[in-house]
Amino acid sequence: MGLTPKRAFKVKSIDMEFPQPVVILNEDDAKELGIVPGNIVLVTVGDTHRSVIAMTTRTMAQRGECVFPLELTKKLGISNGDVIGLRLLGLPPSFNALKKRLKGEKLSEGEFLALLKDIVAGVYGEAEIAAFLVSQIYNPLTDSELAYLIKAMVETGAKVKFEETVYDIHSVGGVPGNSKVALLSVPIVASAGLLIPKTSSRAITSPAGTADTMEVLARVDLTVDEIVEISRKVKGTLAWGGRLNLAPADDIFVSIERKLAIDPEQQMVASILSKKLAMGVEKLVIDIPVGHGTKVEELKDAESLASIFIKQAGLLNIAIKVAITYGGQPIGTSVGPALEAREALKAHIERRGSRSLIDKALMLAGLVLEMSGKAHPGSGTDLARDLFLSGKAYEKFKQIIEAQGGDPNIRPEDIPIGRYTFTLKSPIEGAVTYIDNAAITIIARACGAPYDKGAGVEFHAKVGYRVSRGDPLMTIYSNSETRLEDALTLLREYQPIVVEGMLVKTLP
Amino acid sequence: MGLTPKRAFKVKSIDMEFPQPVVILNEDDAKELGIVPGNIVLVTVGDTHRSVIAMTTRTMAQRGECVFPLELTKKLGISNGDVIGLRLLGLPPSFNALKKRLKGEKLSEGEFLALLKDIVAGVYGEAEIAAFLVSQIYNPLTDSELAYLIKAMVETGAKVKFEETVYDIHSVGGVPGNSKVALLSVPIVASAGLLIPKTSSRAITSPAGTADTMEVLARVDLTVDEIVEISRKVKGTLAWGGRLNLAPADDIFVSIERKLAIDPEQQMVASILSKKLAMGVEKLVIDIPVGHGTKVEELKDAESLASIFIKQAGLLNIAIKVAITYGGQPIGTSVGPALEAREALKAHIERRGSRSLIDKALMLAGLVLEMSGKAHPGSGTDLARDLFLSGKAYEKFKQIIEAQGGDPNIRPEDIPIGRYTFTLKSPIEGAVTYIDNAAITIIARACGAPYDKGAGVEFHAKVGYRVSRGDPLMTIYSNSETRLEDALTLLREYQPIVVEGMLVKTLP
């Protein structure tokens, strides 16, 4: 590794973003150093090293120059005209761990740490990371290997320290309308005096993540310091976890899993527990929604996932409760950031709302209250209901909104929603028998959710409701007329809400 | 897939080479289209579509502009100011085949073809391709699946047509010094009047590929038309296959396999047979060198590989002979393009040379001669020897050199070799008992081979030779003093040539 030639280059920056860290070299320099496009090179700035992907050019970089994307120059602390060292990188030492893994051998705690360090440093490309993830499909990690992986994911990122016990609630997701649940459960827990600095993701494949929905009401791109300070003041946050550098390996894994449409359950557990450990969470409630069109479709899969959570939480010293919840239709009556923010806010103000929303939020908050000792076993939901009905949870929610820079006195009707709408009406008299989660997700995203905050779907009827012919079933919202058109095409194609009458068929 | 929004963009080109096809968009345009860096987008030029990877910029592309690397604009037939369509690509239809593969299901011939078409079109990134390859480690393809894969690799590239039967000899490689064997065997076969339009690769991890070594004597970057024309005239070529677009999927697979240091044997067979089928080869001799430090280290692995070759050749209608050859030490007395070209040329002129080189070349050529019916079974090597000793093979070699634009009358001593040299001498009297293939490869590459054509290693003694103290064992060559220094460090570290005396140890 030490034997590839190294040379000094002058830094030049360009304002371009790349999906991976790159450096662009003059073709002749690259040839001299034995570098071909796609090779990993080691850039040396003073005493620090960073691996990046080499590309070549005939004119963009002169001989002796190396061109970096602006973002990367900031990360490396270099600017135009600086001199850096650069050489072709041999195989990193942790490559042996990857090879062992592909040969079916077990890895030690140290090997996982070395591998994860290199993954986070950007030494590996997509191919190596995909190989690591795909190997798990065929050859699962042992329990202790999975714990080593999770610890290594935590060690290779930022860690947040709080002075008191940290609680959290986390849903594995996959059911539309779920993003707003935390806007009720977190303030309930915080209003009981427990510390719950919740960080969430933005939607990846769903119409809204909790961070997207909370962003309608307040800033969510908080720094670690802000989260610590706000939590100290108001006990809870509803922040976006994306830029906090918590278990950054997870983001790398998730991006590859998405490409491959794989979601190894061990990696799902690693993803969640690593982020929670990095936030110092000691007591955790996990929500696994089960139902057609959600991430976990079968009860037996939910139970298998739950058992991995419980085993790993034990190995990693996290007290855990897992709730397997009903996810057979959307949660509440809305899907999409602004519509869900309205629904959550309305529930706080009116102290009531859709049962699927209120019951779920109270139950999850209740489990946390029981774990904390604030409520006796079995009475957590009651205490959560008291906090909700008394308005204490709403007061807390307002404090959190204000602490995160939002307007605590915002009213549901102040929240803008999609300008263009279409309301689907029932073609017959009957009862709603089915709502297709997957189709609702696709339609809401076609409307523009989560990027168009006002886009989404609102239900006027849910499963079990009786409707007359012509009654509204659902309204779709978008700020773009063409997007609404697209969504209507999908609506006709998927027929995501099924009404069945008593009369099935008439014969001549 | 048809529902992501599409927009028109104005083309701008930059002179930069990327390892994969990319387009650079303004950040705001990307956001509007729901594109994040790394997404695959579909570029529409007139009626044709091409998938490329999206990147974003704040300043390099204005709103409405899209920036392409110059090379890609040429491939797409577009230039500055042209208007193209661009939209986020959903999952390609062949993605289902990849998913099936990852779930352990069998793929049909049509599914392999669809998958390979998309791989070659650049629809997939490294992650997907790595997943496909890694799945083969755990879950090998069936015989018929492998044949489908090979056919699909052929179908998705260029195919060359000849008017008569096409013969070929191919080594799976891995033993240093092997690149020059074809410089003897191919002219021998061609001098018997058989058509042998051989295409070879450049070295990837070895110190020299046949294309690198032939390039010392003549042009090797021939076009398909040139290969056809030269073959018609002189019956043989020694060309580089890299830019002929034969089974282009293979290059994609190989680049990922290198990154992962995996080499699934099925894929090795697919790689070779697909390129041969694309060249219209009907009768093929495969050489599998076996020995420590080569690609195939154990006889049983060579036999397993041979049986896959034989089975697939049967399914694909290629007549095949597989020769498992001794690869326990380098072939001949030289390693590196110029040194090997000298050795091959000298052997042709003097009609003699190192036995490991001459015997191997005659044996491989002999097998082809037997397959053609020019020689009776068992007498192919004799005919090959006649052609070699009579000078007919040298005449043919000169014709091939001339047809490929080289000087047919070049003498070995005209070929420049590395300016800087170091000769390793035997520290004791004894016999050479071992030469380490892998260490020789590393040292020759450290000297600069294959890019520095004059770099490499020359042996003055090989296994079994008796040497006195101070006798030269090997000389290393480089055109760079610092590279020679690097190589010397490795020489001291690896001690790649072992001399053992009769006296093992003295006791007090």
**Are residues B177 and B142 part of one domain?**
no
Query: Could you tell me what percent of chain B has a pLDDT over 70?
Result: 97
CA angle B468–B473–B478, rounded 5-degree value: 155
What is the per-residue pLDDT for B392?
98
CA dist B505 to B430, B432, B501, B502, B508, Å?
14, 18, 10, 9, 10
Here the tokens at position A288 are 């696994």
Q: Provide the CATH number for the domain around residue A334.
A: 3.40.1030.10
The H or E element containing residue B367 is helix B355-372
B507 found inside a domain = no
**Are residues B397 and B354 part of one domain?**
yes
**Are residues B188 and B109 part of one domain?**
no
Residues B284 and B320: beta-carbon distance below 8 Å: yes
What is the per-residue pLDDT for A1?
37
pLDDT 10s digits, B363-404: 999 999 999 999 999 999 999 999 999 999 999 999 999 999
| Separation CA B215–CA B221 (nearest Å) | 9
| Separation CA A412–CA A340 (nearest Å) | 10
φ, ψ dihedrals at A476, nearest 5°: -105, 145
**Are residues A275 and A174 part of one domain?**
yes
Contact criterion met (CB < 8 Å) for A38 and B15: no
Per the model's pLDDT, the better-predicted residue between B340 and A445 turns out to be: B340
Residues B73 and B107: beta-carbon distance below 8 Å: no
Rg (CA), chain A: 25
B506 found inside a domain = no
What is the per-residue pLDDT for B88?
81
State yes or no: cis peptide before A92, omega within 30 of 0: no
What is the per-residue pLDDT for B3?
47
| Separation CA B343–CA B152 (nearest Å) | 39
B410 found inside a domain = no
Contact criterion met (CB < 8 Å) for B486 and A98: no
Q: Which residues contact B353 (CB under 8 A, 6 or more apart)?
A: B332, B343, B346, B347
Placement of tokens 């019956």 in the chain: B235
Q: Provide the CATH number for the domain around residue A471.
A: 3.90.1170.30
Residues A479 and A419: beta-carbon distance below 8 Å: yes
Here the tokens at position A241 are 């976890």
B21 residue type, one letter: P
The H or E element containing residue A432 is strand A430-435
| Separation CA B250–CA A75 (nearest Å) | 37
Q: Which pLDDT band, with edges at 50, 70 and 90, does B1 fall under? A: very low
**Are residues B183 and B130 part of one domain?**
no
Question: 3-state DSSP call for residue A284?
Answer: strand
Contact criterion met (CB < 8 Å) for B134 and A129: no
Residues B321 and B286: beta-carbon distance below 8 Å: yes
CA dist A162 to A168, B46, B89, Å?
13, 59, 44
| Separation CA A338–CA A454 (nearest Å) | 5
Question: 3-state DSSP call for residue B95?
Answer: helix
Sheet of strand B497-500, all strands in order from the earlier edge strand to the far edge? B466-467, B430-435, B497-500
Pairing of strands B16-17, A48-57: antiparallel
Residues B181 and B340: beta-carbon distance below 8 Å: no
Pairing of strands B472-478, B456-459: antiparallel
Question: 3-state DSSP call for residue A108?
Answer: coil
The crossing angle, in degrees rounded to 10, of helices A109-120 and A143-155 is: 40
Positive or negative torsion for Cα B456, B462, B463, B467: negative
B411 found inside a domain = no
Residues B192 and B374: beta-carbon distance below 8 Å: yes
**Are residues A288 and A331 part of one domain?**
yes
Here the tokens at position B271 are 């790689």
Q: Which residues contact A202 (CB under 8 A, 6 or more apart)?
A: A209, A211, A212, A240, A242, A450
Please give the average per-residue pLDDT across B220-235, as a whole number: 96
What is the per-residue pLDDT for A2?
39
φ, ψ dihedrals at A474, nearest 5°: -155, 155
pLDDT 10s digits, B406-446: 999 999 999 999 999 999 999 999 999 999 999 999 899 98
- Searching chain A, which residue's CA lies closest to the CA of residue B53? A19
Mutate to test the interface with B, among A16, A71, A72 (most CBs of B within 10 A): A16
A-B contacts (CB, under 8 Å): 128
Q: How far is CA A113 from the centre of its chain?
A: 23
Q: Is the pLDDT of residue B65 over 60?
A: yes
ipTM of predicted assembly, 2 dp = 0.76
Closest listed residue to residue A115, CA positions, set A106, A124, A102: A124
Placement of tokens 């990327």 in the chain: B18
Return the exposure string of A250-271: e unless at least 16 CB atoms fall within 10 Å of the residue's CB, then b.
Answer: bbbbbbbbebbebbbbbbbbbb
- Domain boundary among the residues B403, B428, B458 is at B403
- Domain boundary among the residues B135, B155, B175 is at B155
Clarify whether B225 is annotated catalytic: no
State yes or no: cis peptide before B207, omega within 30 of 0: no
- Searching chain B, which residue's CA lies closest to the CA of residue A137? B102
Catalytic residue among B143, B251, B263, B301: B263
**Are residues A382 and A430 part of one domain?**
no
Which residues in chain B are closer than 8 Å to A95, comparing Cβ atoms? 261
Residues A47 and A15: beta-carbon distance below 8 Å: no
What is the per-residue pLDDT for B299?
93
Which residues in chain B are closer than 8 Å to A16, comparing Cβ atoms? 24, 55-57, 60
A243 found inside a domain = yes
pLDDT 10s digits, B175-184: 999 999 999 9
φ, ψ dihedrals at A315, nearest 5°: -65, -25
B272 residue type, one letter: I
Distance from CA of A58 to the nearest CA of B (A): 6
**Are residues A451 and A396 part of one domain?**
no
Distance from CA of A30 to the nearest CA of B (A): 12
How many C-beta atoms lie closer than 10 Å to residue B103's C-beta? Answer: 11
The H or E element containing residue B391 is none
Of B102, B127, B137, the CB nearest to A256: B127
- Searching chain B, which residue's CA lies closest to the CA of residue A37? B19
Here the tokens at position A60 are 């963009």
Q: Provide the CATH number for the domain around residue A10.
A: 2.40.40.20
Lowest mean pLDDT among B91-95, B343-347, B404-408, B474-478: B91-95
Q: Is the pLDDT of residue B505 over 60?
A: no
Of A27, A130, A483, the CB nearest to B130: A130
Pairing of strands A281-290, A166-171: parallel
A445 found inside a domain = yes
Burial-class residue A408 by CB neighbours within 10 Å (0-12, 13-18, 19+): middle
Q: Provide the CATH number for the domain around residue B145.
A: 1.20.970.10
**Are residues B25 and B78 part of one domain?**
yes
Here the tokens at position A61 are 């970089």
Residues B437 and B330: beta-carbon distance below 8 Å: yes
Q: Which residues contact A322 (CB under 8 A, 6 or more apart)?
A: A285, A286, A288, A306, A309, A310
Domain count, chain A: 3
What domain range includes position B472? 420-500
Q: Is the pLDDT of residue B83 over 70?
A: yes
Q: Which residues contact B248 (CB under 8 A, 6 or more apart)?
A: B120, B156, B157
Per the model's pLDDT, the better-predicted residue between B446 and B332 turns out to be: B332
Of A34, A125, A255, the CB nearest to B259: A125
What is the per-residue pLDDT for B318?
97
Catalytic residue among A263, A359, A386, A486: A263
Of B16, B58, B482, the CB nearest to A55: B16
Sheet of strand A466-467, all strands in order from the earlier edge strand to the far edge? A466-467, A430-435, A497-500
**Are residues B188 and B114 part of one domain?**
no
Q: Which residues contact A413 (CB under 8 A, 6 or more apart)?
A: A342
Placement of tokens 């005239």 in the chain: B233
φ, ψ dihedrals at B183, nearest 5°: -65, -15
Task: Kindly write down the DSSP assignment for every residue of B417-458, as one continuous string.
Answer: --SEEEEEE-SSSEEEEEE-HHHHHHHHHHTTTTTSTT-EEE
What is the per-residue pLDDT for A320?
97
| Separation CA B259–CA A39 (nearest Å) | 9
Q: Where do the DSSP E strands lie in A18-104?
A: 22-26, 40-45, 48-57, 65-69, 83-88
A408 found inside a domain = no
Placement of tokens 């290693």 in the chain: B457
Q: Would you write out chain A's pLDDT as a tens digit for each of its 508 residues?
A: 334 667 899 999 988 777 678 899 998 888 878 787 777 788 988 878 888 888 888 888 899 999 999 888 988 899 999 999 998 876 677 888 999 999 899 999 999 999 999 999 877 888 999 999 999 999 999 999 999 999 999 999 999 999 999 999 999 988 999 999 999 999 999 999 999 999 998 887 789 999 999 999 999 999 999 999 999 999 999 999 988 999 999 989 988 888 888 888 999 999 999 999 999 999 999 999 999 888 899 999 999 999 999 999 999 999 999 999 999 999 999 999 999 999 999 999 999 999 999 999 999 999 999 999 999 999 999 999 999 999 999 999 999 999 999 999 999 999 999 999 999 999 999 999 999 999 999 899 889 899 899 999 999 999 989 999 999 999 999 998 888 998 999 899 889 999 988 665 567 6
**Are residues B270 and B372 part of one domain?**
yes
Of B24, B91, B130, the CB nearest to A126: B130
**Are residues B385 and B286 part of one domain?**
yes
What is the per-residue pLDDT for A87?
86
Distance from CA of B483 to the nearest CA of A (A): 8
- Domain boundary among the residues B403, B430, B454 is at B403
Sheet of strand B456-459, all strands in order from the earlier edge strand to the far edge? B334-335, B456-459, B472-478, B420-425
Contact criterion met (CB < 8 Å) for A17 and B5: no
Which residues in chain A are closer than 8 Å to B98, comparing Cβ atoms? 260
Per the model's pLDDT, the better-predicted residue between B4 and A325 turns out to be: A325
Task: Kindly write down the DSSP assignment for every residue of B272-284, as one continuous string.
Answer: HHHHHHHTTEEEE
Instruction: Return the C-alpha torsion angle B136, B140, B146, B148, nearest 10.
Output: -80
What is the per-residue pLDDT for A505?
57
A383 found inside a domain = yes
The crossing angle, in degrees rounded to 10, of helices A265-278 and A299-315 is: 40
Q: How far is CA A258 from the centre of its chain?
A: 12
| Separation CA A447–CA B279 (nearest Å) | 51
**pTM for the whole structure:** 0.80
Closest listed residue to residue B493, CA positions, set B429, B433, B446: B446
What is the per-residue pLDDT for B4?
60
Positive or negative torsion for Cα A157, A112, A133, A312: negative
Here the tokens at position A134 are 């795909």
pLDDT 10s digits, B36-51: 777 778 898 887 888 8
